Structure 1
Amino acid sequence: MEIYQHDMSALFEQLGLGSSPEEIQAFVKNHRHSRDSTPIHEASFWTASQSAFLKQAIEDDADWVELVDQLDVMLRDE
């Protein structure tokens, strides 16, 4: 089994989003939402393919899952 080390920039690239630190920070700022029980992949701002990727990463406990979890925390208002 291969284990890949991804970073947040790679996750944003995988999602087809700008992946510079400034672009990531802007995305998080513009899409921050309240802490509720909505799963990250069901947030209204994702495209269908982005949502499917996030859902699959979580369901498969893929090597992306830790970054998806980290992004989920970043997107939730405190």
Structure 2
Amino acid sequence: MELTANNLTTLFDQLGLPSEGSAIDDFIEAHPLPAEVKLIDADFWKPQQAQLLKEWLRADGDEAVMVDELNVRLHRGK
């Protein structure tokens, strides 16, 4: 299942990050993650952002799907 841009926009809005225009793609290109670094352990998150991501993953609902998509894109760098 591929997520729409609106889902990542919602995720970025909830994280307090710019989400308009190419801001999401720019963020992903600027923050590629090596395979050994977990998304929630990335050093660019503020503590509140990392906590929110952890909560969403634990809840295993629609939010977890958005976080998974972000995880894949950050690890691919695209």
Taking structure 1 as the reference length, the TM-score comes to 0.84
Tell me the SS of whatever aligns to 2:69. helix
Which residue is 1:3 aligned to? none
Which amino acid is the alignment partner of residue 30 of structure 2?
A: N
Which residue is 2:31 aligned to? 31
Which residue is 1:53 aligned to? 52
Q: Is the 8 A contact 1:57 1:65 kept in 2?
A: yes
Which amino acid is the alignment partner of residue 33 of structure 1?
A: L
After superposition, the CA RMSD in angstroms is 1.5
Which amino acid is the alignment partner of residue 22 of structure 1?
A: S
Larger Rg: 1
Count of residues in Structure 1 that have an aligned counterpart in Structure 2? 72
Q: Where do 5+ consecutive residues of structure 2 fail to align?
A: 1-5
Q: CA deviation at 1:21?
A: 3.8
Matching of residue 66 in structure 1 with residue 65 in structure 2: yes
Q: Where do 5+ consecutive residues of structure 1 fail to align?
A: 1-5
Taking structure 2 as the reference length, the TM-score comes to 0.84
Which amino acid is the alignment partner of residue 9 of structure 1?
A: T
More helix by percentage: 2
Which amino acid is the alignment partner of residue 65 of structure 2?
A: E
